[in-house]
Structure 1
Amino acid sequence: MTDPRTRQRQSRATALACLGIVAGMTALAFAFVPLYDLFCKATGFDGTPRTGASRTGPVSEDRMVVHFDTNVAPGLSWRFQSETPRVEAQLGATQTVFFRVTNTGTVPSTGIATFNLQPALTGSYFVKVQCFCFNEQTLKPGETMDFPVVFYVEPGIKVDSNTRDLTEMTLSYTYFASKNGQPQAALATPAGIKAN
């Protein structure tokens, strides 16, 4: 038979171990989103374009058509468009495309753009050197601003067996109302309409 003091120590040790596991899991839950975001940006996982410096390697003769899709979430009175709907990018060559944003509302408003790349497999080969995304922009009524996106497509996209047959990709941006540097879908959804 076990001594009551020994059982009490074992119970205390078990309770402390459980408390440690709960604290660790809670910390991981809070760290998951920023760590996942960092992972996606570093690897291009799930259609997230990578960020990096200008490319210095050789340029390929191969080309990839890059389409630009621009959207504004409901509730944000902005007009948003790229200077061109698409470019034929030479692999490895740095490209610059400008995007124009206009506040069509009657009051100043702040927005922030999120982005995605499709097909998702191309994310690890699309490298943004400069981008307006994830920077809050505040526009006065009627104000227009132009923002550049500087990028290149890694030539390795034609070596990867998963992507070598692709000839097109789409870089999609959506502007949302912003609060404290975070997209606010709730602010962008009119009352009575559920967000998808």
Structure 2
Amino acid sequence: MTNPAPQKPKGNPARTALICVGVAFGMLGASFAAVPLYDLFCKVTGFGGTPMVGTAGAGKILDRTMSVRFDANVAPGLGWKFEAESPEIKVKVGATQTVFYKMTNRSDRTVTGVATYNVAPDKAAAYFVKIQCFCFTEHTLKPGESFEAPVVFYIDPEIADNRELDGVHAITLSYTYFASKAGQPVAEDKAGSVKDDVGNSKL
């Protein structure tokens, strides 16, 4: 007796292809959504050296004093001078402070820049609260033009409840200015020209 030949499982190739395309688009959409969600997570938790964001003062000032250092960096190719009015100040924990940064375009062209930031040490970022900041906001300067922008902040008094941070006496707020396109930092290639997100040279 002859056994019947095994039959191939029935399937719909078009339907399978459609599902694969849907999964691919779903993964792509999730990757774009992950960027703002990750940014929000960092701002809420202080993860990765990202300062917290607040809308008002701490409401309580402690006797504890800490140093806050202000670091200012400029990415190659931007042509700006960038500095804080003071490299370091002493602050009372919980007291609201304002420090100004000054940016000057020293190049011979109009340039748009955007600043990113982080706080060191990372474990102190959850207690560094920014009320006002110029970061992630595009600024366009003509040749020789300058402007000043404030950073308003305080150190959360809850830092005193974290015994692991008893030995932390200084916090560094570090900014880096990059050339910008559509509010996003633009990378520089090895030849020294700034490229946009599709690889076209801008300088």
- TM-score tier (shorter): 0.7 to 0.9
CA contact 1:111–1:138 (8 Å) conserved in 2:
yes
RMSD over aligned Cα, in angstroms? 2.5
**Aligned equivalent of 2:199:** none
Q: Which residue of 2 aligns with 1:29?
A: 31
Q: Which residue of 1 aligns with 2:198?
A: none
Separation (CA, whole Å) in 1 of partners of 2:34 and 2:81: 34
How far apart, in 1, do the equivalents of 2:74 and 2:88 lie?
19
Any conservation in 2 of the 1:121–1:162 contact (CA below 8 Å)? Answer: no
Shift of 1:156: 1.2
Give the 3 Å change call, closer, same or farther, for CA 106–19 of structure 1 in structure 2. closer
Question: CA separation in 2, counterparts of 1:72 and 1:187?
Answer: 15
3-state secondary structure, aligned to 2:71: strand
Structure (1 or 2) with the greater helix fraction: 1
Matches for 1:1-196 after TM superposition, within 5 Å = 7-8=9-10, 21-186=23-188, 190-191=192-193
Larger deviation: 41-50 or 178-187? 178-187
**Deviation at 1:8?**
2.8
Q: Give the aligned residue type for 1:102.
A: T
Distance 1:186 1:15, change over 3 A: same
Distance 1:140 1:27 in 2: 37
Q: Are the counterparts in 1 of residues 77 and 188 from structure 2 also a CA contact under 8 Å? A: no
TM-score (normalised: structure 2): 0.83
Aligned-residue offset at 1:164:
2.3
Partners of 1:58 and 1:101 in 2: how far apart?
A: 33
Tell me if the contact between 1:177 and 1:187 (Cα under 8 Å) persists in the aligned partners: no
Secondary structure in structure 1 of the residue aligned to 2:158: helix
Aligned equivalent of 2:197: none
**1:25 Cα deviation after fit:** 2.8
- Residues 31-68 of structure 1 show CA distances to partners (whole Å, capped at 9, x for unaligned) of 11111111101111110011111225211111111101
Q: Which runs of 5+ in 2 are unaligned?
A: 194-203
Task: State the Cα distance separating 1:18 from its structure 2 match.
Answer: 5.8
CA distance in 2, matches of 1:114, 1:20: 35
* Code of the aligned partner of 1:84: S
TM-score (norm 1): 0.85
Determine if contact 2:58/2:157 at 8 Å carries over to the other structure: no
Can you give the 5+ residue segments of structure 1 that lack an aligned partner in the other structure? 192-196
Distance 1:144 1:13, change over 3 A: closer
Q: Distance between the aligned counterparts of 1:189 and 1:131, measured in 2?
A: 32
Q: Cα deviation per residue 1:145-172 (whole Å; 9 max; x = unaligned)?
A: 1110000000111211332220011100
Deviation at 1:186, TM superposition (A): 2.7
Equivalent pairs counted in the alignment come to: 189
